[in-house]
Structure 1
């Protein structure tokens, strides 16, 4: 965590930073796989399920997402020569001996990611019955494995993704559209790899950990349809390339194959959720417990408009300070999930920064709040999030400036001026947002 000395102004700030660091560290792939995976001779055990590697002629690692490079590297290190190759696409590349790591763009896909996704699909399609495919599926895989379907161009997918993000669409809505614009999402990667055995290794960045939503579910049945995707476009009244709507309408009319649904055959697929929001929350809570604070997890599923949730968390801090509910202070209240921002201004920032700034306007004077995206990048910024208290605002003039910043979606420069941004760089993992609210 960069500039930790500047951020850790008091013992309370130190505890919040310790909690944030512990949460992120607990979700890093090398640590997660060390706990979840063991190899004894030819017997590979993953979260209690055993795979006999003698049953396979080839072992591949395929997939994508923000943590995919780190997961591939950890698999490469732990399994050694048992891995025969593979390809993953990520925005956080690492060097591995046996798995090719392709760098793509997030949150808006680029040509490198599209080319990497096509190669992932080609390797999956070539897999045989005696192939074991480790499908590495992590948050961010939706953008990093674009693989446009049919006659769509990457530009069509990119413009659609950007419009949905800017409109503040929920992740399940965005994914319902992206699944039906892709040759890999919505179960199509698993379908392409059949009859190979597909073992999904998932790191969840979505509320509820639905396998069909993480990275738009490349190895999970898709409960959504072309009609659902069209409904999302209509709900937000988006102006998109005519090719996108024409593609979706053709699918709704039955002229294009639907994604594999709940009735499709996924008997060749095994699924392991290795890390999620609770991975980070449990580790952060343990640190707060050890520091002598009463602790509670408000929810691992916080979602909605970032600034509204920031105000709600400030209200929790006020209640703890005033009445001792739901915990007697000194207390730490944690939450996970993923908030969104409806962009109305021209400023820079991200959901965690808007969350923290709105909370700072209302925090009592004995509270400290840290909010970060566990991947180290909040929105499109270079900061992971922010660490705030009542002094972040301080006076009426600063409060007015903060409200102006929120109106222009410009939380980042406001918080930067006050030394409140938390910067970690890319963390190699992605299990959604982590928030730590401390009341002395």
Structure 2
């Protein structure tokens, strides 16, 4: 990356701030803070359970971070665990001693996920009223646990998921529909637990930390409905494009011919306790502290950033320009921080994710700006269907691209952000971080 020494330093600072945010939501540490064993009792948050009164203790996990979460739970619980099963994304597993670990497809569900979910349902159905099921849940659980409802095939779910992803639907919208095409999501797993006590430790990857959206609310009451599914699909122009079996099931649900997912107050949740143990807010707070330690004035703009990635980039860059012009809302050296999950409406046939798309749009907006750098990256280490977490951009990005024969605007139109940054050497590649709390944007303005 042929830049000035100052810009190279900004890149290093941005990565240091990003890593501080990742460390704060390390799943091992999050579980360690919320799960304790003392004096014959299991303490989960502020709730205590006598280990002597638990007949059998089962440990299960779903999501990108679930393997590491289960690893710490295993270390704490040891021989108290009767049986266990964890479903995680390919390359996100870790060695476990008391739980089987199965890997499956994400973000598009696959046959391995179907088979793993069958095993999970079988394990949970072995429990009874005197037993405890401890659940480790993180983002990615929705795609990793496909259990198609009657009349729905895996291919139907895959095609529906692709259509929703390509049109820019939010994770809230996608998961609302996933729950109504499943035998397990939207709290339905609790129906299989035969009255066993269930405790879920949850690492949030959704805006607002909505329990019924994280992992499609596998142990949480569902606030959505078949009517909501039809409204979402209609709004995106997908109602007549979805596979016929999906159309038929949602139509039957709207007509009241299919049982709804369990709602708040349903008997399935009498013995269920859900606890958030980490979120984007924790990552932002840690990033804020590190930015201050690096000599920048930090400002957290929001932990709930959403919308089209390229439009969000324009807003972030507009605030950066205002700082340069007037010193508002904070003076430089400044560090603007935001977190959330943007979307990309696919119009081209390029390769990229929401973070590299945001960065590419920002590179156009920041063209010529000195001492300014933006990093947008996924906390899980992956950005869409790529091996990158995100990308760096600064005031020289657009002009450097020209020297490589690249047009930033053309690559943006074709949703081809990954090859653009790959050519410039500006991708951030971390490998799987084994955590997942959405995305972080770090915008640095030096003096």
Q: TM-score band (shorter)?
A: over 0.9
Q: Determine the structure 2 residue equivalent to 1:311.
A: 314
- Provide Cα deviations, 1:263-297, integer angstroms capped at 9, x if missing partner: 31212111110111012111111111111211110
Q: Could you tell me whether the CA contact under 8 Å between 2:6 and 2:371 is conserved in 1?
A: no
Quick check: 1:257 aligned with 2:259? yes
Q: Distance in 2 between matches of 1:390 and 1:111?
A: 45
Partner residue in 2 for 1:68: 66
Distance 1:340 1:349 in 2: 12
The yes-or-no answer on 1:407 pairing with 2:413 is yes
Question: Aligned partners of 2:286 and 2:432: how far apart in 1?
Answer: 19
State TM-score, norm by structure 2.
0.94
Aligned to 2:94: 94
2:43 aligned to which of 18, 42, 45:
45
Pairwise CA distance, 1:260: 0.2
Shift of 1:248: 1.4
1:33-432 paired onto structure 2 within 5 Å: 33-91=31-89, 92-238=92-238, 239-265=241-267, 266-363=269-366, 364-394=369-399, 397=402, 401-432=407-438
Please list every run of 5 or more consecutive structure 1 residues that lacks an aligned counterpart in the other structure. Answer: none
SS of 1:393's equivalent in the other structure is helix
The 1:109–1:56 alpha-carbon spacing in structure 2 relative to 1, beyond 3 Å, is same
Does the Cα contact within 8 Å between 2:81 and 2:98 map onto a contact in 1? yes
State how far apart, in whole Å, the 2-side matches of 1:296 and 1:207 are.
19
Deviates more, 1:246-255 or 1:388-397: 388-397
Q: Determine if contact 2:304/2:341 at 8 Å carries over to the other structure.
A: yes
Structure 1 residues 418, 400: closer, same or farther in 2, change over 3 A? Answer: closer
Separation of aligned partners in 2, 1:35 and 1:225: 35
Alignment match, 1:16 = 14
Per-residue CA distance 1:312-362 (angstroms, 9 max, x = gap): 111111111221111111111110000000000000000000111111112
**2-side partners of 1:374 and 1:326: how far apart?**
26
Does the 8 Å CA contact 2:353/2:384 hold for their aligned counterparts? yes
Check conservation: 2:35, 2:73, Cα contact below 8 A: no
Report the TM-score when normalising by structure 1. Answer: 0.96
Moved more, 209-218 or 70-79: 70-79
SS at match of 2:357: helix
Asked if 1 retains the 8 angstrom alpha-carbon contact of 2:206 and 2:214, the reply is: yes
| Secondary structure of 2:69's aligned partner | helix
Q: 1:218-242 CA distances to partner (integer Å, 9 max, x unpaired)?
A: 1111111112112222222221211
1:84 aligns to what SS in structure 2?
Answer: strand
Structure 1 window deviating more from structure 2 (412-421 vs 73-82): it is 73-82
* Equivalent residues of 1:90, 1:144 under 8 A apart: yes
Deviations, residues 41-92 of structure 1 (Å, cap 9, x unaligned): 3222222222222221111112311111111112112221122221121111
- Aligned residue pairs total 437
Structure 2 residue runs of 5 or longer lacking an equivalent are: none
1:8 CA displacement: 9.3
Report runs of 4+ in structure 1 exceeding 6 Å deviation.
5-8
For the residue of structure 1 that corresponds to 2:207, the secondary structure is: coil
Distance 1:368 1:205 in 2: 25
Quick one: distance in 1 between partners of 2:120 and 2:273? 19
By how many angstroms is 1:253 displaced?
A: 2.1
Task: Quote the Cα distance in structure 2 between the aligned partners of 1:62 and 1:34.
Answer: 17
SS at match of 2:340: strand
- Determine which of 438, 442, 446 is the counterpart of 1:436: 442
